[in-house]
């Protein structure tokens, strides 16, 4: 399927989306102030430019929780997704371990992991082994001891490090030292990605090196919870589809100093947004991500409801 990068409307409240569009219009010869305000000047510039070209939607990939450890049941869920909703992921990210354990403790044995990765390979689906990462040498040693034999057995598999709050639990010095330790121990070259939430922890940058895949989580969702209070997403919210992706891809975050490796983008297939259909929520995220030319699109998660699975299948149809 081909889609065009998302184009904002006049007076659009999505400031970062408008700024992304204004910057693109300037590459087409406009001389706009990139201020996130879609007024008369931006409208005039847009009228004088051809719209951005449609591009092929990148491979659609999904993360999944510990449910993969029951290989037979997991296989049935993949078959159901394909048969009922037309969705077959290009890759599946298998979460290996829980967030809250300070030592690396996998959900399942290495043999169970190998069985599931093998099942995916037979189905024509590649695997990412997704693990929380902590700034601890013993944690890193245990993770690599568990994951590397499986990675050696399945050459298309990759390691994906989730560097959210667990990584930031250490000091900057600890994170820098642990990142250096990890990269000295890592022997599988570019078969590595780093993911983190959109605003990117400062210390996650220690893990990003040339050639390492960047995988920001640019999730647009219907609500968030802060300090126990539910906050609904509005059109002016950073969590609104189209805005999240352009906010999270600012050069000060995942561009520039964050690394020059291949780019994937993580998107949300959960928490429907009020006022949009699920298909609109998914497509707006995808179209805004297309401004940044990602190699893969990663959705959380495979364990979602039928409307989201159908929307993901529609992107492949």
| pLDDT above 90 as % of the chain | 92
Q: CA 143: distance to chain centroid?
A: 22
Q: Once rounded to an integer, what is the mean pLDDT over residues 63-78?
A: 98
CA–CA gap between residue 243 and residue 116 (Å, rounded):
36
Calculate the average pLDDT of the chain: 96
pLDDT above 80: residue 42: yes
Under 8 Å between Cβ of 246 and 19: yes
- Asked if 280 and 40 touch (Cβ cutoff 8 Å), the reply is no
Q: Give the torsion sign (CA, 315, 276, 293, 301).
A: negative
Q: What is the pLDDT of residue 257?
A: 60
How far is residue 225 CA from its own chain's centroid? Answer: 20
> Residues 108-131: pLDDT tens digits?
999 999 999 999 999 999 999 999
The DSSP result for 13-48, as a single string, is S-HHHHHHHHHHHHHTT-----SS--SHHHHHHHHT
Provide the pLDDT confidence category of residue 258 given band limits of 50, 70 and 90.
low
Structural domains of the chain in order of their starting residue, each with its CATH number: 1-56 (no CATH), 58-316 (3.20.20.80)
Q: What is the value of pTM for the model shown?
A: 0.97
Question: Cα–Cα distance between 156 and 167 in angstroms, integer?
Answer: 26
């Amino acid at each position: 399927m081909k889609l065009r990068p998302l184009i904002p409307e006049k007076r659009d409240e999505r400031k970062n989306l408008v700024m992304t569009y204004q910057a693109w219009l300037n590459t087409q010869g406009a001389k706009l102030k990139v201020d996130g305000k879609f007024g008369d000047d931006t409208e005039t510039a847009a009228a004088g430019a051809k719209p951005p070209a449609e591009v092929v939607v990148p491979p659609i990939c999904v993360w999944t929780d510990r449910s993969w450890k029951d290989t037979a049941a997991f296989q049935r869920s993949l078959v159901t997704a394909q048969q009922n909703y037309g969705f077959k992921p290009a890759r599946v990210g298998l979460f290996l371990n829980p967030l809250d354990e300070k030592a690396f403790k996998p959900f399942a044995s290495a043999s169970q992991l190998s069985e599931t990765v093998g099942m995916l390979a037979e189905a024509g689906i590649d695997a990412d082994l997704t693990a929380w990462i902590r700034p601890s040498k013993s944690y890193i040693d245990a993770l690599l001891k568990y994951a590397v034999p499986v990675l050696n057995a399945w050459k298309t598999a990759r390691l994906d490090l989730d560097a959210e709050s667990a990584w930031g639990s250490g000091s900057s010095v600890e994170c820098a030292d642990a990142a250096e330790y990890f990269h000295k121990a890592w022997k599988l070259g570019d078969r590595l990605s780093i993911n983190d939430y959109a605003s990117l922890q400062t210390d996650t940058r220690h893990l990003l090196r040339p050639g390492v895949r960047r995988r920001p989580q640019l999730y647009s969702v219907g609500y968030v919870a802060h300090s126990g209070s539910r906050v609904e997403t509005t059109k002016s919210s950073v969590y609104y589809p189209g805005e999240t992706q352009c906010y999270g891809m600012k050069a000060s975050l995942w561009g520039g100093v964050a690394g020059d490796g291949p780019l994937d983008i993580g998107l949300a297939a959960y928490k429907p947004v009020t006022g949009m259909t699920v298909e609109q929520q998914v497509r707006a995220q995808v179209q805004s991500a297309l401004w940044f030319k990602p190699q893969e699109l990663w959705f959380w998660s495979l364990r979602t409801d039928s409307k989201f699975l159908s929307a993901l299948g529609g992107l492949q149809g």
